[in-house]
Structure 1
């Protein structure tokens, strides 16, 4: 294991329009700096531990959308932007504490320390893998290191996790004041090259899934009970308090003692079934015998996870279950975890749009209330005139994660090798930000209504 002396890193001031992770020779505590932004934290950690910044940001975005959630733990007892975890299968929190000399409380609650701790762990794993010198600048060479950082329950889940990180690196990130440009990377999957990714369907997996659109991936048998002691009468909506891949891995860990029947991914609505509907998943305590649980990737305090793709995929699943099992498609029988007696959870929380969800469950095709997407490329233009005739107010470096409500035609946008006239209207944030439009290099986004 290499020990790198702290390096002097120039303070990076990011100015952008805001739209609203060894007992005998423990390391000496390092200076986490006086970073005023999360962007500074990533730059400092990447330089100090020789980890590509785009990769660090990609991991953080996959884990938390770059939100530390005020130091509150995930379902798998992971903390912060980088999800430093402390559970029987994932020791990244304790490893970060040993490598940096920083106390666990600071690693959990201080964003700059959390990012630094993750970089230290990745550095140690890279050393163990023999990744040195110029090879460290090749993001594609870090694939097995990132897979190790996930501490996934098995190879397919590790590949699911790592492929998502590399997808994000390829798209670029713009969130929480942190921006990375898209990076074209060819990942060297190493020992994971021959691991079939989750989603590979076989005759047996197709037969096992109750819902035709689901990928079958069984939870650990310690985390559910075979059979039922009551008739199924209720569908329960959950939020994972963690990532899609992390949740799947956690349900496959015998020590977790939790599971759900289904897990839904935020980005595209992919559905994984982990417990057969005929069996009892452990998700709502005393209500387990008569309920079917659907977990949704994300965190209750962060609406960016609740995409239209997720709503529509989940609603189609709920509609299918209800119709197959004779469950009324009303809120009396389709409930949130927080509405089940004897439970202390708050999910799906105030950011879950029940009105829209139930319209979809009942076969409606309403316009989505907001649409979450990420702009790509550079020079994203912003205008504050509904007719799109005023001059550009400002230009964002891009990419930028935003919520939009509708689109309309304006002047021609030329970017990323395409041209079109569609501008997207941001969700109003009150008098200080109303009628704001941004351009986008893609064509008109599917599912977004015309203003």
Structure 2
């Protein structure tokens, strides 16, 4: 997150969501009515939304329904772009009202089919039943003005048809697109007269549309002040990449680029555009970007910003962005040997402050609506897959039927209530009751109770995070969290998945908890970095148990703007254990803990 201002829009849309059988019928009827091959119509919808209408809440681009038809002006966006006004055009073509297109599955699918048919006819092509003759219209549907991005969308649509796909819905039913052989006429793309001046980064495969758009790296004054990153040579210099940090920008893609290319103190390694998943490489991954607000995490991580707002208008991030981001993460994880789990693929909101004084100012993006479950499925990991052996370790996997229940478990921003649909967390209480206060963290805020505010991370456990079970009373489960027992509603384990993992507890009465794994004060002092020594921000009490995310040798990295200055990277004698301490990761000295069952 690079900005903290947010604007809320209130939407009064009464959505009619079809059953899966109804939706299948809607696709069939719309395909027949507008003479669009049903596999094309279904695959376009799948590539846009995975057939999820999101209860007709708008996306970050003001897109509605399974066809992601956009009406950004309806959200108050004054941007003059046809890509953000497709709902109006599609409604006029189909005869459906704009209100129905934005709130009814059948109307939305009809309008999407009408729009595809228009694009086909605009290209001078027949409304053919041959799926291979729709490549140009599909590319046009993406609304991209850059040829490589439009091709990327069309290729995804056709590859989905080739492989076939199915999606299981909350009611247990499944919608399926049967696989078919494909041989699309890709030459149709030339009929669109798109821009073809994008310079792709040769370091990435064709399936990833990556451009190199470098961030500023210059002196800001004559006193050594500089930004937006440190030149390095990871991992050749011994500094390993072990985390990938997910952010959202809180601004537009274009404004984020301007910020990163100017004199600022923030820039991620990558930036992903919302409407099409276009990726800008801002800082080469071998360099250390200033993105996480924690120098230790920065030194060992790659940061990926995503265009969007944690609460602004829409409540969900687009499928092209998820798809391209996940492909990028898989490539980076393979390149740097980063484990595909929630201890290493983390949100900015999972990054701790280095010390107690830093905790309250840490960011909370990508927020309560980032779909970690879907994102990890794209990474090839099922967070809901139970461990073979029963243990006290659980993975937080909120089920929308059983999470955020009770009158107190709402979600707000500045007092305004937000939708619960699509949220990714469970609330944590001080005792097993909805009437109980939420837990809180003294380093985060004053007071004896957490709040329902989205930025209040002190009382939330998020999808994919793992904790050790500390008790059970009726429908309520306790976990060890932030140095205390925290309770959440969990009837019949509906909000967790049984997991396995290594567990630690304090060897003596307590163990210190740190925001980084730095060498000792004496070791830092010997290398000229006395001021970098860390103080613990919490205590882990004996008997409390936490899940291990890794064991790492203490290290410290320093670099400067001057390329002729030798990089300083050194390790210490101490080893640290990474744990999931609360909403954020943390570190304890291995010498102060013991491993337990």
TM-score, reference length from structure 1: 0.50
TM-score, reference length from structure 2: 0.39
Say which one has the larger Rg.
2
